[in-house]
């Protein structure tokens, strides 16, 4: 009887967990849909502005002289690292992948004798680095629906400090969203910007084929001075959006797997419950028959 009660309690617990994971899966699916729309809406603008910067830099007769591209002469041998994690768990290996690639990069900097400043996004990174004893200079919070102005303010502080020579580079560790079935952790170099060489080559080939030369007013340098900060801000905003989409799709997959596992465990427990009950009934019938036979 005690075994039957124990199995029954486990069946109730598994059913409760299944309802919770199923609900979390539905919530993650809804959030994934909205965040995917935002990421897809901003992707063409981000790619196009970077392509435009690369093409204009390639069309310039003089070598581009901008600290956001070439860095600052005499800048400190110091790197700013921004790690983008989630505020909540139950999203599979999302946080572990991002934190692993960030930890490896920080360890490589330490081995090379390069100083760094660490900034984070999300509570999971805060807990991880606090446990590891790695100091964090600033903790940013953007939520599930990041505002461009808020992200742009963070990017502006990066640009200002980088242009002042406080850092030789700025990198962002985040989960890049490629497709629903593929997300990859990436260490993106935000500053100095790496202009798309492919876009620059395509622009040069197109100019040769068409034979068209362009005149810019104001000059290319003035236009790029205005475009480069915008490109940095949109790149960081796109990284944050990609991270949120990746978090939601990985949580959705993890909760679906948990729900399926709960379903399978529920079937196993029900089978064990029926076997235990049948065994108990058989034992009771045997005792009754034995007792009746003894009275004859």
Write out pLDDT tens, residues 228-240: 999 999 999 999 9
Q: Residue 15: its pLDDT value, please? A: 93
**Does residue 141 carry a pLDDT above 70?**
yes
Q: What is the mean pLDDT of residues 119-139?
A: 95
Residues 111, 206: one domain?
A: yes
265 and 209, same structural domain? no
pLDDT recorded at residue 212: 56
Domain co-membership, 126 together with 181: yes
**Same domain? 227 vs 278:** no
Q: What is the b/e burial string over 205-243, where b = at least 16 CB atoms within 10 angstroms of the residue's CB? A: eeeeeeeeeeeeeeebeebbeebbbebbbbbbbbbbbbb
Is pLDDT larger for residue 70 or for residue 90?
90
Cα–Cα distance, 144 to 165 (Å, whole number): 33
Average pLDDT for residues 201-221, to the nearest whole number?
58
Do 173 and 41 belong together in one domain?
A: yes
My answer on whether 165 and 276 are in the same domain is no
Range of the structural domain that residue 290 is part of: 2-23+256-295
Q: What is the CATH number of the domain that holds 271?
A: 1.10.287.80
| Mean pLDDT over the full length of the chain | 86
Give the mean model confidence (pLDDT) for residues 109-119: 94
- The arithmetic mean of pLDDT across residues 94-107, rounded, is 96
* Residue written as token pair 């139950």: 90
Domain count, the chain: 2
CATH number of the domain at 130, please: 3.40.1380.10
Check residue 210 and give its pLDDT: 52
Q: Is 140 in the same domain as 164?
A: yes
Q: What is the pLDDT of residue 205?
A: 46
CA distances from 149 to 139, 146, 152 (A): 17, 9, 5
Please tell me whether residues 246 and 262 are part of one structural domain: no
pLDDT-based confidence at 70, cuts 50/70/90? confident
pLDDT (mean) for 132-138: 95
Whether 8 and 72 map to the same domain: the answer is no
Are residues 128 and 157 both part of a single domain? yes
Q: What average pLDDT does the segment 258-284 reach?
A: 89
What tens digit of pLDDT does each residue of 241-267 get? Answer: 999 999 999 999 999 999 999 999 999
Give per-residue pLDDT as tens, 147-188: 999 999 999 999 999 989 899 999 999 999 999 889 999 999
289 or 135, which is more confident? Answer: 135
pTM (predicted TM-score): 0.84
pLDDT tops 70 at residue 63 = no
| CA gap 116, 106 in Å, rounded | 8
HEC string for the chain: CHHHHHHHHHHHHHHHHHHHHHHHHHHHHHHHHHHHHHHHHHHHHHHHHHHHHHHHHHHCCCCCCCHHHHCCCCCCCEEEEEEECCCCCCCCCHHHHHHHHHHHHHHHHHHHCCEEEEEEECHHHHHHHHHHCCCCCEEECCCCCCCHHHHHHHHHHHHHHHHCCCCCEEEEEEEEEEECCEEEEEEEEEECCCCCHHHHHHHHHHHHHHCCCCCCCCCHHHHHHHHHHHHHHHHHHHHHHHHHHHHHHHHHHHHHHHHHHHHHHHHHHHHHHHHHHHHHHHHHHHHHHHHHHHHC
| Domain identity same for 129 and 181 | yes
Domain shared by 6 and 140, yes or no: no
């Amino acid at each position: 009887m005690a075994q039957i009660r124990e199995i029954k309690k486990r069946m109730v617990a598994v059913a409760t967990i299944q309802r919770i994971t199923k609900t979390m899966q539905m919530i993650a699916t809804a959030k994934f849909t909205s965040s995917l729309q935002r990421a897809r809406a901003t992707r063409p603008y981000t790619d196009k502005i970077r392509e435009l910067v690369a093409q204009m830099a390639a069309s310039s007769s003089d070598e581009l002289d901008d600290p956001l591209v070439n860095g600052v002469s005499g800048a400190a041998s110091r790197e700013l690292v921004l790690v983008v994690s989630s505020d909540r768990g139950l999203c599979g290996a999302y946080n572990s992948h991002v934190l692993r690639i960030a930890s490896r990069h920080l360890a490589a900097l330490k081995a090379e004798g390069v100083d760094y400043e660490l900034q984070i996004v999300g509570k999971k990174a805060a807990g991880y680095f606090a446990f590891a004893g790695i100091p964090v200079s600033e903790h940013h919070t953007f939520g599930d629906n990041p505002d461009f102005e808020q992200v742009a303010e963070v990017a502006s502080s990066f640009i200002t400090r980088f242009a002042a020579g406080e850092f030789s580079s700025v990198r962002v560790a985040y989960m890049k969203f490629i497709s629903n079935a593929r997300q990859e952790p990436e260490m993106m170099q935000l500053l100095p910007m790496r202009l798309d060489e492919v876009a620059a080559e395509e622009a040069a080939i197109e100019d040769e084929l068409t034979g068209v030369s362009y005149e810019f007013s104001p000059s290319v340098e003035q236009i790029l001075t205005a475009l480069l900060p915008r490109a940095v801000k949109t790149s960081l905003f796109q990284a944050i959006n990609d991270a949120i989409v990746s978090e939601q799709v990985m949580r959705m997959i993890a909760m679906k797997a948990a729900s399926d596992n709960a379903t399978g465990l529920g079937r196993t427990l029900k089978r064990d419950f029926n076997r235990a009950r049948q065994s108990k009934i058989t034992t009771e019938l045997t005792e009754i028959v034995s007792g009746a036979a003894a009275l004859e």
